[in-house]
């Protein structure tokens, strides 16, 4: 989003402001489909669960990875609006419930939809068999997360060596395991994570078949990196490597799906905040703005992400600190920004902040989240 448009929107709507560019969402979705023609994209709703964002991907033919019933219903309301003749008695082609650990109440509510759900342990099999016997299953594997910005393997995933036994366990409980899923960690810039995970999955497919279990689905998860800076590998290069391995190891009869989130929405979000205070502390110029880590900049805490603060005004710059509006010292956006000498009432902005940002906003200390504005819908 260009500076002129962001500044106009801030003056029109006030700050703090979070702007979502739907033209960018459509561009990113088209890029994913172009480079992964065999893979169905299941947008990871947790990354940015705004219903208007979900609607844009739904209209593009996207499917969805949900991890809570709130996210499920955000998506399902679009399916409910379909004419009866266009509905199916299952929702696998549009929704996967990809949280491996689910409350009993969630399973009881999901069961009537005949969902596809992930699991990674025997206790979860027992819960699903009792409370959601109509579900289809995908076994979540523990795979390498080396170099990913947010690792997930310590919390979820069955060891490859126990995978087929868990598939057999599900079968013994009257359930069908449709396939394998994995997640290489969020913002994965190491393609070897994917390649090793694909190889592990292929081995499990073969072992499962030798024991009479015919798997039909591979979910390669998320982790596809957003281009935050020049150090991030080119998406086309990553896709070429993955497609080669997928085509080599999995016949066309195997359904391949993925759960992109950050890649689809990060570059579509921009934040604009206003300087509400200014001070010099320890010889460093400090700016206080009306947004912070309890709001749009929550990714600094929860996503281990760095967002650059930029000025709409030019001029000589100096090393500055930028703080959020709350009374908590944790509310620190940056201690090392190069910014000019600005006045109270001037604006700062950040681009590429569409993922894991406004989704975690709170009302901490009485400060409300940023106003969300959708453009190019």
Question: Residue 216's pLDDT is what?
Answer: 96
Contact predicate 167/118, CB 8 Å: no
| Cβ atoms within 10 Å, residue 207 | 15
Question: Residue 247's pLDDT is what?
Answer: 97
For residue 205, pLDDT over 80 is answered with: yes
Give the CA angle between residues 47, 360, 222 to the nearest 5°.
Answer: 20
* Per-residue pLDDT tens digits for 345-367: 999 999 999 999 988 899 999 99
At 172, list the tokens: 């013994």
Phi, psi for residue 111 in degrees, rounded to 5: -55, -40
* Per-residue pLDDT tens digits for 144-163: 777 667 656 778 999 999 99
* pLDDT tier at 85, thresholds 50, 70, 90: low
Question: Residue 89's pLDDT is what?
Answer: 53
- 32-46, 86-100, 360-374 — which is least confidently predicted? 86-100
* Per-residue pLDDT tens digits for 170-200: 999 999 999 999 999 889 888 899 999 999 9
Question: Residue 352's pLDDT is what?
Answer: 96
Q: Determine the Cα–Cα distance for residues 209 and 213; give it in Å rounded to an integer.
A: 5
- 24-28, 288-292, 303-307 — which is least confidently predicted? 303-307
Q: Determine the Cα–Cα distance for residues 283 and 265; give it in Å rounded to an integer.
A: 38
Spatial CA neighbour of 29 closest among 263, 233, 194: 263
Provide mean pLDDT across the span 213-226: 95
Name the average pLDDT for the chain: 94
Provide mean pLDDT across the span 83-106: 81
**169 annotated active-site:** no
Work out the burial of residue 12: count CB atoms within 10 Å of its CB; fewer than 13 is exposed, 13-18 middle, 19 or more buried. exposed
Q: Who's near 275: CB < 8 A, 6+ residues apart?
A: 287, 288, 289, 342, 343, 344, 345, 346, 347, 348
* Per-residue pLDDT tens digits for 308-318: 999 999 999 99
* pTM for this predicted structure: 0.94
Instruction: Go through the domains of the chain in sequence order and give each one's CATH number.
Output: 3-18+267-375 (2.40.37.10), 22-265 (3.20.20.10)
* Per-residue pLDDT tens digits for 58-78: 999 999 999 999 999 999 998
- Catalytic position from the list 169, 188, 286, 327: 327
């Amino acid at each position: 989003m260009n500076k002129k448009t962001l500044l106009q929107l801030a003056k029109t709507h006030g700050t703090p402001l979070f702007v979502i560019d739907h033209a960018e969402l459509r561009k990113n979705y088209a890029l994913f489909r172009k480079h992964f023609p065999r893979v169905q994209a299941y947008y990871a709703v947790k990354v940015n669960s705004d219903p208007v964002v979900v609607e844009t991907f739904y209209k593009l033919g996207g499917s969805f990875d949900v991890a809570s019933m709130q996210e499920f219903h955000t998506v399902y309301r679009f399916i409910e609006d379909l004419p009866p003749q266009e509905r199916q008695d299952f929702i696998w082609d549009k929704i996967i419930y990809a949280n491996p650990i689910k409350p009993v109440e969630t399973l009881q509510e999901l069961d009537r939809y005949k969902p596809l759900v992930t699991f990674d342990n025997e206790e979860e099999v027992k819960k699903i068999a009792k409370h959601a016997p109509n579900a289809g299953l995908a076994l979540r594997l523990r795979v390498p997360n080396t170099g990913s910005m947010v690792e997930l393997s310590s919390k979820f995933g069955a060891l490859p060596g126990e995978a087929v036994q868990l598939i057999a366990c599900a079968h013994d409980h009257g359930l069908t395991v449709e396939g394998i899923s994995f997640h290489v960690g969020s913002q994965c810039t190491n393609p070897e994570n994917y390649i090793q995970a694909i190889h592990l999955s292929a081995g499990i497919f073969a072992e499962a078949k030798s024991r009479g279990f015919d798997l039909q689905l591979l979910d390669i998860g998320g982790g596809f990196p957003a281009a935050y800076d020049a150090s991030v590998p080119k998406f086309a290069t990553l896709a070429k490597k993955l497609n080669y391995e997928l085509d080599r190891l999995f016949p066309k009869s195997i359904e391949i799906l993925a759960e992109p989130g950050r890649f689809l929405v990060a570059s579509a979000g921009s934040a604009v905040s206003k300087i509400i205070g200014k001070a010099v502390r320890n010889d460093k110029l400090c700016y206080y703005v009306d947004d912070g880590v309890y709001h749009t900049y929550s990714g600094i805490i929860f996503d281990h992400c760095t967002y650059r603060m930029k000025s709409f005004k030019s001029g000589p710059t100096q090393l500055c600190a930028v703080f959020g509006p709350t009374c908590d010292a944790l509310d620190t956006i940056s201690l090392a920004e190069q910014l000019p000498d600005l006045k109270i009432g001037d604006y700062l902005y950040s681009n590429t902040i569409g993922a894991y940002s406004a989704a975690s906003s709170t009302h901490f200390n009485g400060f409300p989240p940023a106003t969300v504005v959708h453009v190019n819908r």
